[in-house]
């Protein structure tokens, strides 16, 4: 006696049923010809329509004669539960909505393929459409999409169910051959003002503290304290500029606020040693009565003297990236505010100096 199973609305196997019970389910419209059924000995699930002729489902039952005596009801005896193997799990079919969107599959256990063709000349029908000769996760467009998302390991292992992972980048990517907006004199001046304010508060205090500590350890006097303080301050300034220019966004906090950065002549990031050499090259720009700094207002690529010496340029923060259209040549709100406040401080200082001179002259005349 065959034991049958059929697929429910949620594609789950239901049963077991005997052949007669299967027929009763069909005649009572609980299952239809397109319902998937399976019994022990079948290689895979098949639509009931494929087995309708074999089971005699399409034959119209003959009505009983009117004069026939009703059959005596048989004594009820609960049937013993049959011992049958568990049905195979119904595999959900992969569906690809469009050529550009890969199908999301939720496969369960699949029946293993037979090692040889079944004997007896019976044809074996596969449910649904034939599988694609190339799995979805091995198609070129899917591999390219996963590679772009940074899932290099997923493409290597050919596992479509691994989550895409992108490598962390502490520094922006470099893109060459594009239009570049160079930072002009006033942008660089505003960034220098911000950095000078930070250095005077933090580095100045730390340099003096280190100088006093080193002087006390060496057992020196006031001259030794002054020398160690100056050297400590110089070293901290050098580390400040060299470290910021060679890491993060290749810019000091002042340059980050203005939206500019320091790179090589062709846009490559600068190393720590080059950034350190650039700092000491600024001494030459200072010794030339600051003419080395003023060169940024007249050179073609807005380079100061120390930039020319070290082959560096100061550019917009979006230059040499994959978003060059975000570059801005205008001064910017932060730079305008910083330069305005600094100008007010200078004007107030000049007025104060003249006021003190006048007050001293008045005091001397009437004193």
Cα separation, 342 vs 190, whole angstroms: 9
d(C-alpha 265, C-alpha 261), whole Å: 12
Residue 260: φ, ψ to 5°: -135, 170
Our count of domains for the chain comes to 3
Distance CA 217, CA 215 (A): 5
Q: Output the six-digit token pair for 181.
A: 């907006």
Q: Are residues 326 and 199 in the same domain?
A: yes
- Per-residue pLDDT for the chain (367 aa), expressed as one digit of tens each? 678 888 887 778 888 888 888 888 888 888 888 888 888 778 888 888 888 888 887 765 555 554 445 555 555 555 555 555 555 555 443 344 444 444 444 444 444 444 444 444 444 444 444 444 555 445 566 556 655 555 444 444 445 544 445 444 445 555 665 689 999 999 999 999 999 999 988 877 776 777 677 766 766 667 777 787 788 888 889 999 999 999 978 999 999 999 999 999 999 999 999 999 999 999 999 999 999 999 999 999 999 999 999 999 999 999 999 889 999 999 999 999 999 999 999 999 999 999 999 888 888 877 6
| 296 & 265 share domain | yes
Token readout for 301 is: 């690529």
Q: Identify whether the C-beta of residue 95 lies closer than 8 Å to the C-beta of residue 105.
A: no
Same domain, yes or no, for 230 and 276? yes
H-run or E-run covering 267:
none
Letter string b/e over residues 86-109, b meaning 16 or more CB atoms within 10 A of that residue's CB: ebbebbeebeeeeeeebeebeeee
109, 151: one domain? no
Task: Clarify whether residues 313 and 195 are in a common domain.
Answer: yes
CATH number (domain holding residue 10): 3.30.1490.40
Does residue 349 fall inside a structural domain? no
343 found inside a domain: no
In this structure, are 25 and 94 located in the same domain?
yes
- Give the integer Cα–Cα distance in Å for 124 and 186: 81
User: Residue 94's pLDDT is what?
Assistant: 39
* pLDDT tens track for 79-110: 555 555 555 555 443 344 444 444 444 444 44
Q: Which of 324, 297, 314, 276 is nearest to 175 (CA)?
A: 324
Does 222 share its domain with 113?
A: no
Is residue 112 located within the same domain as residue 210? no
Under 8 Å between Cβ of 182 and 280:
no
Range of the domain at 159: 132-166
Question: Do 240 and 263 belong to one domain?
Answer: yes
- 324 and 247 within one domain: yes
For the entire predicted model, the pTM comes to 0.51
Alpha-carbon distance 291 to 293, whole Å?
Answer: 5
- Which segments within the chain are labelled E, that is strand? 4-7, 13-17, 36-39, 46-47, 260-264, 312-316
220 inside domain: yes
């Amino acid at each position: 006696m065959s034991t049958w199973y059929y697929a429910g609305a949620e594609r789950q196997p239901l049963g077991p049923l005997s052949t007669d019970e299967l027929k009763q389910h069909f005649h009572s419209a609980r299952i239809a010809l397109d319902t998937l059924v399976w019994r022990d000995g079948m290689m895979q699930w098949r639509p009931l329509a494929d087995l309708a002729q074999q089971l005699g489902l399409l034959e119209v039952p003959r009505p009983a004669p009117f004069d026939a005596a009703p059959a005596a009801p048989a004594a009820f005896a609960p049937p013993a539960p049959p011992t049958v193997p568990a049905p195979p799990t119904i595999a959900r079919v992969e569906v690809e909505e469009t050529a550009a969107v890969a199908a999301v599959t939720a496969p369960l256990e699949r029946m293993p393929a037979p090692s040889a063709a079944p004997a007896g000349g019976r044809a074996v029908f596969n449910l649904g459409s034939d599988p694609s000769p190339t799995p979805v996760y091995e198609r070129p467009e899917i591999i390219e999409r996963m590679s772009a998302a940074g899932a290099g390991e997923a493409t290597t292992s050919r596992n479509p169910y691994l989550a895409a992972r992108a490598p962390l980048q502490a520094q922006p990517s470099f893109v060459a051959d594009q239009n570049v907006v160079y930072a002009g004199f006033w942008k660089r001046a505003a960034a220098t003002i911000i950095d000078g304010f930070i250095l005077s508060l933090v580095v100045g205090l730390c340099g003096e503290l280190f100088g006093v500590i080193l002087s006390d350890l060496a057992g020196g006097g006031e001259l030794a304290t002054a020398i160690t303080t100056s050297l400590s301050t110089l070293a901290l300034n050098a580390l400040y500029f060299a470290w910021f220019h060679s890491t993060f966004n290749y810019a000091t906090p002042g340059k980050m606020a203005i939206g500019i950065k320091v790179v090589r002549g062709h846009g490559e990031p600068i190393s720590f040693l080059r950034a350190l050499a650039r700092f000491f090259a600024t001494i030459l720009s200072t010794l030339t009565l600051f003419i080395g700094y003023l060169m940024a207002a007249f050179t073609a690529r807005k380079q100061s003297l120390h930039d020319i010496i070290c082959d560096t340029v100061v550019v917009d923060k979006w230059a040499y990236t994959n978003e060059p259209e975000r570059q801005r040549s205008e001064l910017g709100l932060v730079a305008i505010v910083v330069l305005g406040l600094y100008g007010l401080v200078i004007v107030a200082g000049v007025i104060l100096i003249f006021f003190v001179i006048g007050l001293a002259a008045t005091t001397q005349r009437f004193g």
